Amino acid sequence: MNTNDLNTALYEKMAAEQDKYRDWLKSQPPEEILHHTYEYTIREDIVMAMEELELTDAQAEALLESPSPLADVYRYFDKLETGYMDVIRDSIESRANEVCREPEELNPMVVYLHSASYATKHGETDAYWLSDQANFSCKVAIEQAISAHYRDNRLDTASAVQEILEEFGAERLNFILANTIQHKDADGRISRDNKAWAKTIPMPEDSATSQQCADLIVDRVNPGLVDLFTRQARKTVQEKEKGSVLQKLKQELPVHKPAAPKKREPER
């Protein structure tokens, strides 16, 4: 047999051995099945690895000589000092760190501006995916709002914008619109003013190549309507921000009460 045939024969022998082991295990009482769960899982992984592995002729022939090559490999693996428990411990600690993060870090109103690889490396995958799901929902909601408020060749921008602001907040609304406009930079139906504004909105490091950002483009409505919607959104958000600043200043300014009038001394 050639090398390919030897490897195929070894794989088939291991697979048959595992099928026989599985049939035996299924006939055991529940306690015994649980006792062998780890062994069964590792054996499954060995067979899976063998499906793609290419051993030399000598290696394949040596294992084929064994009446139970799968059991032999499992026993060898079981004696190794692997990093398996280290991976388990790291997983526990990483998940615990995610859960212990401050609640506001998982606030669905907060836009996560790091890449997926950064989130994975820093244990922030929950925040990443929560933000990504909210981003996509906002994108769809903008398209629906524009369609719903467009009648007789006129877009009720104020109502459409307010609808999105109430559900998703200003930060996410700005993010989706800016992401859309940045990806439509060559579209003449988007005003230069809105294009300049879009470049001021923070974006993820990989926004130009990220598939996630590409999926967040508002593209199911006319770009001209997106331009009108964006202009109104900028105006509405700016007015709200000014109102918030004024309100904060009013709260912080000291209240000066007029001094009480001095009592006049009676004339003598």
Residue-by-residue DSSP string for 221-244: S-HHHHHHHHHHHHHHHHHHHHHH
Q: For residue 224, what pLDDT is reported? A: 96
Q: Give the model's confidence band at 254: pLDDT under 50 very low, under 70 low, under 90 confident, else very high.
A: low
Give, rounded to a whole angstrom, the gap between the first and last alpha carbons of the chain: 134
Task: Using the predicted structure, report yes or no on whether residue 103 has a pLDDT greater than 60.
Answer: no
Q: For residue 110, what pLDDT is reported? A: 84
The stretch 193-207 carries a mean pLDDT of: 92
The stretch 85-108 carries a mean pLDDT of: 66
Alpha carbons 103 and 101: distance in angstroms, whole number: 6
Q: Are 61 and 10 in contact (CB under 8 A)?
A: no
Comparing CA positions, the residue from 136, 159, 134 lying closest to residue 228 is 159
Q: What's the predicted TM-score (pTM) here?
A: 0.55
Task: Using the predicted structure, report yes or no on whether residue 245 has a pLDDT greater than 50.
Answer: yes
Q: For residue 228, what pLDDT is reported? A: 97
Residue 192 is which amino acid? R
Q: Give the model's confidence band at 108: pLDDT under 50 very low, under 70 low, under 90 confident, else very high.
A: low
Helix residue spans in 27-155 (DSSP H): 30-35, 37-52, 57-64, 69-79, 84-100, 116-121, 125-148
Lookup: tokens for 61: 């022939």
β partners of residue 155: 150
Alpha carbons 230 and 194: distance in angstroms, whole number: 7
Q: Give the model's confidence band at 253: pLDDT under 50 very low, under 70 low, under 90 confident, else very high.
A: low
Q: Give the model's confidence band at 211: pLDDT under 50 very low, under 70 low, under 90 confident, else very high.
A: confident
Tell which wins on pLDDT, 186 or 90: 186
Compute the mean pLDDT over every residue in the chain, rounded to the nearest whole number: 86
Task: Using the predicted structure, report yes or no on whether residue 237 has a pLDDT greater than 50.
Answer: yes
Tell which wins on pLDDT, 19 or 95: 19
Task: Using the predicted structure, report yes or no on whether residue 232 has a pLDDT greater than 90.
Answer: yes
Q: For residue 94, what pLDDT is reported? A: 72
Q: For residue 104, what pLDDT is reported? A: 47
The stretch 122-140 carries a mean pLDDT of: 90
Residue 5 CB neighbours (<10 A): 11
Task: Using the predicted structure, report yes or no on whether residue 151 has a pLDDT greater than 80.
Answer: yes
Tell the burial category of 201 from Cβ atoms under 10 Å away from its Cβ (0-12, 13-18, 19+): middle
Q: Give the model's confidence band at 3: pLDDT under 50 very low, under 70 low, under 90 confident, else very high.
A: confident
Residues near 218 by beta carbon (within 8 Å), at least 6 away in sequence: 139, 142, 143, 146, 176, 177, 180, 226
Q: For residue 258, what pLDDT is reported? A: 57
Tell which wins on pLDDT, 218 or 268: 218
Comparing CA positions, the residue from 25, 40, 35 lying closest to residue 71 is 40
Q: Are 82 and 26 in contact (CB under 8 A)?
A: no
Q: For residue 107, what pLDDT is reported? A: 59
